Amino acid sequence: MAITQKKLVELLNMDLELEYSAAIQYINHAAVMTGAAYGDIIKELKVHANEEVQHAMTLADQLDYLGGSPSVKVGEIHTSKDNDKMLGQDLEGEEDAIRRYKLRIEQAEALKEFALAQQLRTILAVEQEHAMDLKQALGR
Ligand SMILES: [Fe+2]
Ligand SMILES: [Fe+2]
């Protein structure tokens, strides 16, 4: 099925909701995580939280430009008391984001929304960095 502007707005709103939930999840995990060995990644999680908020702002602006109403709903949030389980939850979220943004770039280009595609590429590159930070912390 060919992508339409309306469908793209719906999908970008889902992406926006998942950026909000990613920011909240990182804030929670950075606060709950303990242990000297996790000091460096705790700092990284706080950086990630801020970057997810930036992504949310970019998507909200793009949604407004496309004539959509930016969602204020928040996607699913995963929590745990175990450090490595939390990092695994964060990595799953990043891998999902990478899959979604790769597809979203193709969809934006199919509609000749090249500026949107460019913004999505920038977000994708940051999500890939997030995934690499988490894999390193998990020793994967
Ligand atoms: Fe993000
Ligand atoms: Fe991310």
pLDDT at 62 (0 to 100): 98
Please compute Rg for the chain using Cα positions.
16
- The DSSP letter of residue 82 is S
Query: Which ligand is in closest contact with the Cα of 15?
Result: 1
Query: Which ligand is in closest contact with the Cα of 119?
Result: 1
pLDDT at 14 (0 to 100): 98
Q: Which residues are in the CB-under-5-Å shell of ion ligand 1?
A: 19, 52, 55
Q: How far apart are CA 43 and CA 49, in angstroms?
A: 10
Ligand 1 center–CA 41 separation, angstroms: 17
Q: How far apart are CA 99 and CA 83, in angstroms?
A: 25
Q: How far apart are CA 70 and CA 72, in angstroms?
A: 7
Ligand 1 center–CA 110 separation, angstroms: 22
CA dihedral for 48, 52, 57, 58, sign (positive or negative): positive
Helices 83-110/5-32 angle, 10° precision: 160
pLDDT at 99 (0 to 100): 98
pTM of the model: 0.97
Helices 39-65/114-138 angle, 10° precision: 160
pLDDT of 49-87, one tens digit each? Answer: 999 999 999 999 999 999 999 999 999 999 999 999 999
Map residue 76 onto helix, strand or coil. Answer: coil
**pLDDT under 70 in the chain at which residues?**
none
pLDDT at 51 (0 to 100): 99
Ligand 1 center–CA 96 separation, angstroms: 10
Query: Which ligand is in closest contact with the Cα of 25?
Result: 2
